Amino acid sequence: MALDEALLEHAARLGKPVLRFYGWTECAATFGYFQKFAETSALTPLRPLVRRPTGGGLVPHDADWTYSFIVPPGHDWHGLAAADSYRRLHEWVRDAFARVGVEAMLAPERRTAAPGQCFAGWERLDVLAHGRKLAGAAQRRNRSGLLIQGSIQPPMRVAQADWQKCLCDSAHAAWGVEWRAMEPDSTVRGRAAELAAVKYSRPLHNERR
């Protein structure tokens, strides 16, 4: 969470969109910036439970694939309305699934589920396959740029590395994107370490609502 926020803060300086794939060293859960901690914590036994910098609901990170996409201000994606941004992202994700042989679609309408069961129901424009939610995401847009954090509930028999490659290939096919490997510089790493220490690891942040 800290590195995603640091990348958002430095998006203008970095100058180009950043796609980040990351994993979890232990089971955990994240919840949306505007949610109430007391209500959310009762819905899952997973710990740590960390407040995201983006909106959305409770997401368990016990078997999912996670990624983030950071866009600098001035990029055309930064100027999209929230629904249009969500659609563009999940059309991209859908096309990546098609490349690994999974036929998916965007949800035409919302389907509610019990609180805390993020992947039992879905929001409009989430990614579905065979009546099951495969992908959801949350966004945060400000003057620094746009941060999207996404979670994938992977289909059986699909390798994570294959899907990640297909996501990159889909962007190249659709928009001519040429990807380059990137390591956060010392400024971004330092800011992420600071945010982790003073914000995301602190009850004052995670439990303040």
Residues marked active site are found at 118
Alpha-carbon distance values, 157 to 91, 99, 100, 111 (Å): 22, 14, 10, 26
Q: With b meaning 16 or more CB within 10 Å and e meaning fewer, what string describes 60-74?
A: bbeebbbbbbbbbee
Tokens read off for 177: 């994107």
How many Å apart are CA 85 and CA 65, to the nearest integer? 20
Q: Which residue has the tokens 């590395």?
A: 161
Nearest-CA neighbor of 136 among 56, 63, 18?
56
CB 27 within 8 A of CB 8: no
Residues in the chain: 209
Cβ–Cβ < 8 Å for 112, 101: no
